[in-house]
Amino acid sequence: MTSENLPDRAAIAGQERLSEQVARTGMFGTPTTGDTSGYGGLRVRRAPVPASERPYGSYFDELADNLGQALEKESIGFDEAIERVIVDRGELTLHVRAEHLTGVAKVLRDEPSLAFELCLGVSGVHYPWDTGRELHAAYPLLSITHNRRVRLEVSAPDADPRVPSMVGVYPTCDWHERETWDFFGIIFEGHPALTRIEMPDDWKGHPQRKDYPLGGIPVEYRGAHVPPPDERRSYQ
């Protein structure tokens, strides 16, 4: 065998790494019912995003320094409150430990050098493969004063999906947290009225979780009976 026919060890190693990075299969990543999207054979490979190292770039270093100094005034260490810092695609995300979520948010809101006056909402995410951190809630913040943005992200285990409510810091989170509870089942402790806001009050389950069934309700359409997704033709 000539050197030209020898296998590329780097390519083989890369394929092995890719095989370890399979995050989900199919379009929705659900194992419960048949994936009728036509993408049942899709394999999404995604390496975990490591914590970013200094310098972060843009205004992110200044923001982190100002936040760290303000937290010290509250007798909270930056590393104590922030699990990791992620800079990706020009955006800054601070992964906050749940017990420090509202404290960090108050500092970001009240410290003049930060002045994140506005929370733009709450987004829930379900990562079934992220053991012990399956449910995430993300809060995009905007500083009108400094024209800057930052995202706070907090995680909770599927077995005990509880995080502190942010309504006391940003009242606009009220309906957004209700929606996130409705669709993902994250319990926002301290919320004034954590009830369903999109689904009927007697709805079972949380329909945007990855383990939620893809269907099961037969539909009548113009006189034709349409079977539920798990009884339709399977696409492989």
- Predicted TM-score of the model (pTM): 0.76
Q: Provide the 10 A C-beta neighbour count for residue 216.
A: 12
Residue 169 inside a domain? The answer is: yes
Instruction: Give the pLDDT of residue 224.
Output: 66
**pLDDT tens sequence across 115-139:** 999 999 999 999 888 889 999 999 9
Q: Look at 174 and 39; give whichever has higher pLDDT.
A: 174
Buried b (16+ CB within 10 A) or exposed e, 64-87: bebbbebbeeeebebeebbbebbb
> What is the domain-level CATH number for residue 100?
3.30.460.80
Residue 168 inside a domain? The answer is: yes
- Summarize the confidence of residues 105-118 as an average pLDDT: 97
d(CA 31, CA 165): 31
d(CA 188, CA 98): 11
pLDDT class for 4, splitting at 50, 70, 90? very low
pLDDT class for 5, splitting at 50, 70, 90? very low
pLDDT class for 153, splitting at 50, 70, 90? very high
Residue 221 inside a domain? The answer is: yes
Specify the DSSP class assigned to residue 231: G
- Summarize the confidence of residues 170-182 as an average pLDDT: 96
Half-sphere exposure of 186 (CA within 13 A, CB side): 32
Residue 5 inside a domain? The answer is: no
Residue 2 inside a domain? The answer is: no
pLDDT over 60 at 147, yes or no: yes
**pLDDT tens sequence across 203-225:** 888 999 988 876 655 555 566 66
Note whether 96 and 76 are within 8 A (CB): no
Tell me the β-bridge partners of 22: 45
d(CA 45, CA 20): 8
Burial of 184 (0-12, 13-18, 19+ CB in 10 A): buried
Note whether 33 and 216 are within 8 A (CB): yes
pLDDT over 80 at 160, yes or no: yes
Domain containing residue 124: 10-231
Instruction: Give the pLDDT of residue 164.
Output: 97
d(CA 213, CA 216): 8
**pLDDT tens sequence across 69-103:** 999 999 999 999 999 999 999 999 999 999 999 99
Residue 133 inside a domain? The answer is: yes
What's the total number of domains in the chain? 1
**pLDDT tens sequence across 18-40:** 344 545 666 666 555 555 566 66
Task: Give the 3-state secondary structure of residue 124.
Answer: strand
Note whether 227 and 33 are within 8 A (CB): no
> Would you report the helix, strand and coil content of the chain in percent, each value rounded to 5?
25, 25, 50
Residue 61 inside a domain? The answer is: yes
Q: Provide the 10 A C-beta neighbour count for residue 15.
A: 10
Quote the mean pLDDT of the chain: 83
pLDDT class for 17, splitting at 50, 70, 90? very low
Give the residue carrying structure tokens 């399977």: 234
Task: Give the 3-state secondary structure of residue 68.
Answer: helix
pLDDT over 50 at 201, yes or no: yes
